[in-house]
C-alpha cells in the first residue's frame, strides 16, 4: 500500500485507521508523528503542509515506518529519539526508552542539589544519559559521571551531552555499577533493571521485544542490581552525600533492607504520578 500522490492529511487518516485496526491505542498520534518525521514537518507547526502531496520517496519511507509500528516497535524506537524532562534524547538500540516514572527520581534529586554549588553526581546505568543530563541542565555548576555496561549506550549518552551543550560537565564510561571507580560523589543516582526475569517475557511487545533486556531484567527476584549497587554505595558517597534509587512496584521494603545491611538508611521517598513509591533516597547510617 503506497500513499504516493495522497495529501499528507489523507495519508495520515488512512495510516491512523490501519494502526487503530491493529489495536494500537494512540493510532492517530502515532500516524501523525511518523508522517511528520518522514516529511520533515515541525510538530509545532503541522498545519500548513497538510494539503501537500507525498512524493514517492516519502510515501515509501512512511510505509516502512508504519510497518515497524504495526510490528509493535515503539514510536521512540522508530524515530530514535525520546523526550525526557523537557530534553530531546537520541537513542540507539542499547538504550532504554526513558519513562515518565523516572521523573520522580529526577525531582527528588534536584531537591538535594543546590543551584549555586558545584556538586558531583554519579549516575549508574545511565543509558543515553537520561537522569544525569536532566540534572546537569538544571544545575549549572554541577558535574557528573555516567556509567553503563553498554558501550553503545555510553556513546549515545556522549552524543546527547554534546547536543545539549553539557559535554564539558558530563563524562561517561563503560563499566559495571561502581566497580573500579575511585573518588566520591555528593549524589549517586541509579535507575537499575528491576523487573523479575520471569516477568520480562510477559511484558507488552513494545517493551519485551524492543527495550534492551539488560535494561529490564533484575534477576530472579528483580533485586540483583540493588544488591550490587548497595554493596558499593557507601564508599562512593562524599561526606553528607546521598544515594537515590528508582524502584519497581512493591520493592521498597526489600531495597530498604538491603541498604540497611550495607550501612545506609532511608532518608526520603518520592511517589510517581500514579502514587506508586518510585524513588528512595538513602544516607549513611
Ligand atoms: C532501567 S535502565 C535505565 C536507563 C536510564 N538511566 C533511565 O533511567 O532511563 C538500566 C540501565 O542499566 C544498565 N546496566 C545493566 N547492567 C549494568 C551494570 N552491571 N553496570 C552498569 N550498567 C548496567 C543498562 O544497560 C541500562 O542502560
DSSP string, 220-280: TTS-HHHHHHHHHHHHHEEEEEEEEEE--TT-HHHHHHHHHHTTEEEEEEEE-TTS-EEEE
The protein residue whose alpha carbon is closest to atom 14 in ligand 1 is 125
In a domain, 3, yes or no: no
Backbone dihedral region for residue 191 (phi beyond 0: left; psi -120 to 50: alpha; all else: beta) = beta
- How far is 84 from 90, CA to CA, in rounded Å? 11
Q: Give the model confidence (pLDDT) of 3-60 as tens digits.
A: 777 888 899 999 999 999 999 999 999 999 999 999 888 766 766 677 788 999 999 9
End residue of a domain, out of 71, 98, 114: 71
**Residues spanned by the domain of 59:** 8-71
What does the block give as the cell for 178? 561502581
The answer on 213 and 89 residing in a single domain is yes
* Same-domain check for residues 31 and 154: no
Among the ranges given (54-58, 163-167, 190-194, 206-210), the one the predictor scored with the smallest mean pLDDT: 206-210
Choose which residue among 77, 87, 215 to substitute to test ligand 1 binding: the one with the highest number of ligand atoms within 8 A of its C-beta.
215
Q: Is 150 helix (H, G, I), strand (E, B) or coil?
A: coil
Q: Which atom of ligand 1 is nearest to the CA of 192?
A: 10
Mean pLDDT score, 150-163: 98
How confident is the prediction for the chain on average, in pLDDT?
94
Q: Of 20, 53, 71, which marks where a domain is finished?
A: 71
Residue whose CA is at the smallest distance from ligand 1 atom 6:
126
pTM for the full predicted model: 0.93
- Tell me, yes or no, whether 62 and 135 share the same domain: no
Q: What is the total count of domains within the chain? A: 2
Report CA(87)–ligand 1 centroid distance (Å).
Answer: 19
Q: Are 157 and 255 contained in the same domain?
A: yes
The DSSP symbol for 58 reads H
Nearest CA residue ID for atom 3, ligand 1 = 191
22, 38, 71: which is the final residue of a domain? 71
For ligand 1, the distance from its centroid to the CA atom of residue 239, given in whole angstroms, is 26
Question: Is the same domain home to 161 and 185?
Answer: yes
Q: Which CATH number fits the domain that encloses residue 203?
A: 3.40.50.150
What is the per-residue pLDDT for 1? 62
Q: Has residue 247 got a pLDDT over 90?
A: yes
Ligand 1 mean position, distance from CA 56 (Å)? 40
Amino acid at each position: 500500500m503506497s500513499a504516493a500522490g495522497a495529501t499528507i492529511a489523507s495519508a495520515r487518516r488512512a495510516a491512523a485507521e490501519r494502526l487503530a485496526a491493529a489495536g494500537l491505542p494512540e493510532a492517530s498520534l502515532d500516524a501523525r508523528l511518523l508522517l511528520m518525521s518522514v516529511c520533515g514537518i515541525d510538530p509545532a507547526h503541522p498545519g500548513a503542509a497538510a494539503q501537500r502531496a507525498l512524493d514517492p520517496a516519502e510515501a515509501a519511507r512512511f510505509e516502512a515506518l508504519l510497518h515497524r509500528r504495526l510490528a509493535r516497535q515503539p514510536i521512540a524506537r522508530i524515530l530514535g529519539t525520546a523526550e525526557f524532562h523537557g530534553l530531546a534524547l537520541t537513542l540507539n538500540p542499547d538504550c532504554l526508552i526513558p519513562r515518565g516514572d523516572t521523573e520522580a527520581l529526577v525531582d527528588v534529586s534536584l531537591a538535594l542539589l543546590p543551584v549555586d554549588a558545584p556538586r558531583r553526581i554519579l549516575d549508574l546505568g545511565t543509558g543515553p544519559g537520561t537522569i544525569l543530563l536532566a540534572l546537569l541542565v538544571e544545575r549549572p555548576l554541577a558535574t557528573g559521571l555516567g556509567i553503563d555496561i553498554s558501550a553503545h549506550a555510553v556513546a549515545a549518552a556522549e552524543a546527547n551531552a554534546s547536543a545539549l551543550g553539557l559535554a564539558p560537565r558530563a563524562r561517561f564510561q563503560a563499566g559495571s555499577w561502581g566497580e573500579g571507580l575511585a573518588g566520591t560523589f555528593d549524589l549517586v543516582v541509579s535507575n537499575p533493571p528491576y523487573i523479575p526475569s520471569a516477568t520480562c517475557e510477559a511484558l507488552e511487545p513494545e517493551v519485551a521485544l524492543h527495550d534492551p533486556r539488560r535494561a529490564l531484567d533484575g534477576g530472579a527476584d528483580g533485586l540483583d542490581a540493588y544488591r550490587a549497587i548497595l554493596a558499593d554505595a557507601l564508599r562512593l558517597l562524599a561526606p553528607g552525600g546521598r544515594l537515590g534509587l528508582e524502584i519497581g512496584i512493591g520493592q521498597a521494603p526489600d531495597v530498604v533492607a538491603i541498604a540497611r545491611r550495607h550501612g545506609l538508611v532511608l532518608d526520603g521517598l518520592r511517589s510517581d504520578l500514579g502514587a506508586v513509591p518510585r524513588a528512595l533516597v538513602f544516607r549513611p547510617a
